[in-house]
Amino acid sequence: MKIATWNINGVKARIDGLTRWLGEAEPDVVCLQEIKSVDEAFPAEAIERLGYNVATHGQKGFNGVALLSKRPLEDITCRLPGDDDDAHSRWIEATVSTDTGAVRVASLYLPNGNPVDTDKFPYKLAWMDRMLAHAQELLATDEPIVLAGDYNVIPEPKDARFPDRWVDDALFQPESRSRHRALVNLGYTDAQRAVSRDEGIYTFWDYQAGAWQKNNGIRIDHLMLSPAAADRLSGVNVEKQTRGWEKPSDHVPVVVTLDV
């Protein structure tokens, strides 16, 4: 099973690139972030024509997450538990059954948190605390769990071309990184780092200052696997070529292959 995450940065603006990639890569499950669309305006028909079931948790103009699956999406749950007042559409999860079992997959869009001297940073940290609590609850199911999305966290210096440029950014603050490590300490595996510790693996290149052309990137899109999922991991691929397409997202898809 190929499970992908992709911050699409506006699904209606990138629908041609998305459908092209779906046709070429043929992932089984796709976790989208920043769809920037309400549910009823999501361009589901173009995706369904390619054989995908679609579930969305949208929001007008910003945020928004979605799940695309070649198999039925079961027990769909929107919103991250722990704060009924949080109106941001940043979390959707569902179960995907296979011939040999089932996988619980979540698409998440973690808050950016900038500027750090505003209430956006405490919101980011509180959201991460809620995610940690829910991630721990999911482990109790003993199912393969995949928490996939734009984490807006640079876990290590090697995950940035120029880490010194990010020291004042919420993505690289000690508080953000320590919470990401806490997810690992719960038992989740960073799929990319399970297969390679190499430097120079990035998933995001800003639109500004020729970042793509200079390979000035960062790695902030992660697939975190529960032990039952990590045991089935057989590969990870960063679909870097999509960043060079016409009207690209500033993120690229990351795909894991699980033997399920």
Residue 260's pLDDT band (cuts 50, 70, 90): confident
The rounded percent of the chain whose pLDDT value lies above 90 is 98
Spans of all domains in the chain: 2-258
Residue 178's pLDDT band (cuts 50, 70, 90): very high
Q: Single out the catalytic residue among 134, 180, 222, 251.
A: 251
pTM, rounded to two decimals: 0.98
109 is an active site residue: yes
Q: Does the annotation flag 250 for ligand binding?
A: yes
Q: Which CATH code is given to the segment(s) 2-258?
A: 3.60.10.10
> Alpha-carbon distance 260 to 253, whole Å?
21
Q: How far is CA 130 from CA 125, 167, 174, 210, in A?
A: 9, 25, 18, 36
Residue 248 has pLDDT above 90, yes or no: yes
Residue 44's pLDDT band (cuts 50, 70, 90): very high
150 is an active site residue: yes
Q: Does the annotation flag 7 for ligand binding?
A: yes
Q: Does the annotation flag 34 for ligand binding?
A: yes
Q: How far is CA 158 from CA 71, 110, 152, 183, in A?
A: 36, 21, 15, 19
Which long-range CB contacts under 8 A does 162-168 form with residues at least 24 apart?
A: 162/216, 166/218, 168/116
Per-residue pLDDT, averaged over 81-92, amounts to: 96
Q: Does the annotation flag 251 for ligand binding?
A: yes
* Three-class HEC string of 126-171: HHHHHHHHHHHHHHCCCCCEEEEEECCCCCCHHHECCHHHHCCCHH
Q: Single out the catalytic residue among 150, 159, 169, 221.
A: 150
Residue 99 has pLDDT above 90, yes or no: no
57 is an active site residue: no
pLDDT in tens, 16-37: 999 999 999 999 999 999 999 9
Residue identified by tokens 């997202």 is: 249
